């Protein structure tokens, strides 16, 4: 008998019929002898409905009151799911974040979980009940209602699994697992049976939006095995876990890509200590997040400085660069938002050289010019012209044999 | 500077625009220097929407989970009203029933308030904030969410006023006060400036459905001055308070009537001790509430026994009477649901004889036959044929001069 935490997102509980289907799944797990804690989101559309009400009153609603408002969304779902479970003779109890003391800091709308009192939940589990917990919400130490921000229900599930020392945290979603790359781009992309936390973090942050990054970090930190499954189809999904020393690791787990970035370049800046800070300091002050940074040696004691930002920040970033470029005595300043970033991710890289050069070779073979390169221990990223995205991802997927389960 | 508890019902907060209008009223009271606690209901339609979701899953939803579900309705309103107040530079804080520890018993869907922890509210008032509290809901001693049943927001407001020792509890509704009788029946019906708790209880239970009976009882018990006002019009409304010994009392405060009753009669039952119990015992066991009861002496040591019940229970009551009538050796058993009850209500009756006979005289003058009579200290009720309702109420309103403020 295992202790399982299951999380169902907004689409999975979007209608009464889908809530009934979730109740079938939960009651099924219970009938197989597992103890089950369920974490649910608001029914899809509900959070937007509530936001519209708030925005009709104020474009920038008071954060404390916005949390009071939005937290009702999950509260509706926990009640309905518990009713559906009881109808199936499956004893259940619903709890809001406050009722199971999901203690957070006081950062309304983006609070972080600090502690969970697992005792109440454990008492119900011992009494044979399924426990249904509202995701996304908690209380601060003064009893104010807080929310974790969008997608926070994944984090609630992982935190609950950690607090209960659950055997597995299952995230039910509208995809049936994590793929080697986006199946809409590569038709023979393969579902991974398992992937490590580190790889998943790289995949997620690079645009494979299956799971919230924070929940993966949390799961890694507390060593909670995390499984991504489909709410709508049967299947084992993808298990996200620690690297098993005895296990044969695949060389490359997957190919992620991101179409949301733009590139900013300052040419001919004096090659002096502190120059990076002089350029990126004002960018950071403007709250623009920077992703890749590359600095090349140029001619005549000058250097070319390039970095990527979110496309929405491109024109703002360009303006800043133009004003500081003059003070620095820099040359041309320009931007390019017709780019994509493609990344190979795999823990197998740690023990294998040559991955990067094989990547570059595969791209060269297709005539794709590489504009920027950045590497980390388990990842190689390149920036290329966005028109080559599909071509490049397919070529790399082939070159590294990702359509078949390979291992080192 | 006074401490005022204001309560706004579902119609008064039914749209964002109406919530903004309530915020204007509340901010206005605050600007005049009063401390204000606001109790609100769910936006009109919201409770029904939630009930429909629950009923789509189960015709008889688990009571505990129904409370978790329904309590979200008021939570939405407190958040939106607080946002609207903050937009007006009027500092505000919203609280659910649980957050201000509105402690109830555990009777889900019809819980009763046992205690309120006023400290948190008082701290906010001292800090210059308006406190916005969710009506209709509380928690039991195990932290389960409870609701007080429909209309319970009035009770929340009165209980809050009692706990805070407020100067006045103002119930905002869609009528501008309590009238001498229904203005739809008597066009010159007059709004009362004040009425006693006892009179209000008689008026409310007799069909003038301005306030929930429980909240009036509660207000009387804890001596909370209660005022009924309109959300939509300016005006002083009607103050419900204790009888002031020094104040000149009106003879009659109002005329209530009830179209929802039916009359059941058993003729020729043996005139023996215990006969009333033999007849009404089975009626009570069938959960039928009995209102008026009249027993007349008949011929030959027999008696005629008549009582009124809700019209919905008429045919069920008749069946019961038929079966027990045989055992009792009674004569004819019959029912009449074409009746109405009309009641004169006034604390002035206590010190004045002749009210009843004046009432009967006024009805006789119009040729109205009286079928039943029942009296209490501050009320005289008669049952008549329903077709004479309007004629009779108008005649009595004239006869007792209710169109003008009269006093003893």
A40: domain CATH number is 3.40.1160.10
Does any domain span residue B121?
yes
A76 vs B58, B69, B78: nearest CB:
B69
On average, the pLDDT of chain A sits at: 90
For A64, A145, A147, the CA distances from A105, given in Å and listed in that order, are: 12, 10, 10
Q: Angle B344-B250-B355 (CA atoms, 0-180°, nearest 5)?
A: 40
Interface check for B61 against chain A (CB to CB < 8 A): the answer is: yes
Tokens of B408: 């003893």
Coil/strand/helix, residue B390: helix
- Across the A:B interface, residue pairs with CB atoms under 8 Å apart total 104
- For residue A56, the chain B residues in CB contact (below 8 A) are 16
- Across B271-314, the runs of DSSP E, i.e. the strands, are 290-297, 302-310
Domain-embedded: residue B74? yes
Query: Is the CB of B62 less than 8 angstroms away from the CB of A82?
Result: yes
Are B80 and A16 a contacting pair at CB < 8 A? no
* pLDDT, tens digit, 9 for 90 and up, residues B24-60: 999 999 999 999 999 999 999 999 999 999 999 999 9
Predicted structure pTM score = 0.82
Chain A residues with CB under 8 Å of B16 CB are 53, 56-57
Yes or no, beta carbons of B79 and A65 under 8 Å apart: yes
Q: Do residue B57 and residue A20 have CB atoms under 8 angstroms apart?
A: yes
Q: Give the closest-approach CA distance of A159 to chain B in angstroms.
A: 22
- Structural domain count of chain B: 1
Most B-contacting residue of A73, A76, A79 (CB-CB within 10 A), to test interface = A79
- Where do we find the tokens 């970095």? A307
> Which tokens belong to B377?
């200290």
What are B134-187's pLDDT values in tens digits? 999 999 999 999 999 766 899 999 999 999 999 999 999 888 899 999 888 999
Residue A278 DSSP symbol: H
For B235-273, the pLDDT digits (tens) are 999 999 887 665 566 788 899 999 999 999 998 888 877
Contact A343, A202 (CB under 8 A): yes
> Which residue does chain A place closest to B72, by CA atoms?
A72
Nearest Cα to Cα of residue B2 among B221, B123, B170, B133: B170
Q: Which domain holds residue A95?
A: 3-173
Chain A contact present for B283, CB below 8 A:
no
| Alpha carbon distance, N-terminus to C-terminus of chain B | 34
Q: Does A57 touch chain B (CB under 8 A)?
A: yes
CB contact under 8 A, A65 and B83: yes
Cβ-contact B30, B37 below 8 angstroms: no
- In tens, the pLDDT along B185-240 reads 999 999 999 999 989 888 876 656 677 788 888 899 899 999 999 988 889 999 99
For the ranges A34-48, A77-91, A316-330, the lowest mean pLDDT is seen at A316-330
State the DSSP string of B218-231.
Answer: HHHHTT--EEEEES
pLDDT at B352 over 80: no
Dihedral angle of Cα A277, A279, A284, A290, to the nearest 10 degrees? -100
> Angle formed by the axes of helices A355-365 and A389-399, to 10°?
130
Query: CB–CB of A83 and B19 under 8 A?
Result: no
Say yes or no for a CB contact (<8 Å) between B80 and A66. Answer: no
- Per-residue pLDDT for B408 more than 50? no
Q: Indicate whether A86 belongs to any domain.
A: yes
Please indicate, yes or no, if residue B267 is contained in any of the structural domains.
Answer: no
Taking alpha carbons only, the member of B58, B57, B93, B51 closest to residue B73 is: B51
Q: Report yes or no on A294 lying in a domain.
A: no
Residue B268: inside a domain, yes or no?
no
Q: Any idea what DSSP says for residue B191?
A: B
Please give the structure tokens belonging to residue B140: 């039991």
How many Å lie between the alpha carbon of A97 and the closest alpha carbon of chain B?
12
Q: Looking at the domain assignment, is residue A399 inside a domain?
A: no
Chain A residues whose CB is inside 8 A of the B86 CB are: 58, 62, 65
* Residue at B285 is within a domain: no
């Amino acid at each position: 008998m295992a202790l399982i935490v299951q999380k169902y997102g907004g689409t999975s509980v979007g209608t009464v019929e889908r809530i009934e289907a979730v109740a079938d799944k939960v009651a099924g797990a219970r009938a197989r002898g597992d103890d089950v804690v369920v974490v649910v989101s608001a029914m899809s559309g509900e959070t937007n409905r509530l936001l519209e009400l708030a925005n009709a009153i104020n474009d920038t609603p008071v954060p404390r009151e916005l949390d009071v408002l939005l937290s009702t969304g999950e509260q509706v779902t926990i009640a309905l799911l518990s009713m559906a479970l009881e109808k199936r003779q499956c004893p259940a109890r619903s709890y809001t974040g406050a009722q199971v003391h999901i203690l957070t800091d006081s950062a309304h709308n983006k609070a972080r979980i600090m502690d969970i009192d697992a005792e109440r939940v454990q008492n119900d589990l011992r009494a044979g009940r399924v426990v249904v917990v509202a995701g996304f919400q908690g209380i601060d130490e003064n009893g104010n209602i807080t929310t974790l921000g969008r997608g926070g229900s994944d984090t609630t599930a992982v935190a609950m699994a950690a607090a209960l020392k659950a055997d597995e945290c299952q995230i039910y979603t509208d995809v049936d697992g994590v793929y080697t790359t986006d199946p809409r781009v590569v038709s023979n992309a393969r579902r991974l049976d398992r992937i490590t936390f580190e790889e998943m973090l790289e995949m997620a942050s690079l645009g494979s939006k299956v799971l919230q990054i924070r929940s993966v970090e949390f799961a890694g930190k507390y060593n909670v095995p995390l499984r991504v499954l489909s709410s709508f189809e049967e299947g084992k999904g993808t298990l996200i876990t620690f690297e098993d020393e005895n296990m044969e690791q695949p060389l490359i787990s997957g190919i992620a890509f991101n179409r949301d970035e733009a590139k900013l370049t300052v040419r001919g800046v004096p090659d002096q200590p502190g120059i990076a800070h002089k350029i990126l300091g004002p960018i950071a002050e403007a709250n623009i997040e920077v992703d890749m940074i590359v600095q090349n040696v140029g001619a005549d004691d000058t250097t070319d400085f390039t970095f990527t930002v979110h496309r929405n920040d491109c024109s703002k970033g360009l303006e800043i660069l133009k004003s500081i470029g003059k003070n620095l005595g820099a040359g041309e300043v320009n931007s390019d938002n017709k780019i994509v970033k493609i990344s190979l991710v795999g823990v197998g890289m740690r023990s294998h050289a040559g991955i990067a050069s094989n990547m570059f070779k595969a791209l060269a073979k297709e005539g794709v010019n590489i504009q920027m390169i950045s590497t980390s221990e388990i990842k190689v990223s390149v920036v290329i012209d966005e028109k080559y995205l599909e071509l490049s991802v397919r070529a790399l997927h082939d070159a590294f044999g990702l359509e078949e389960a390979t291992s080192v």
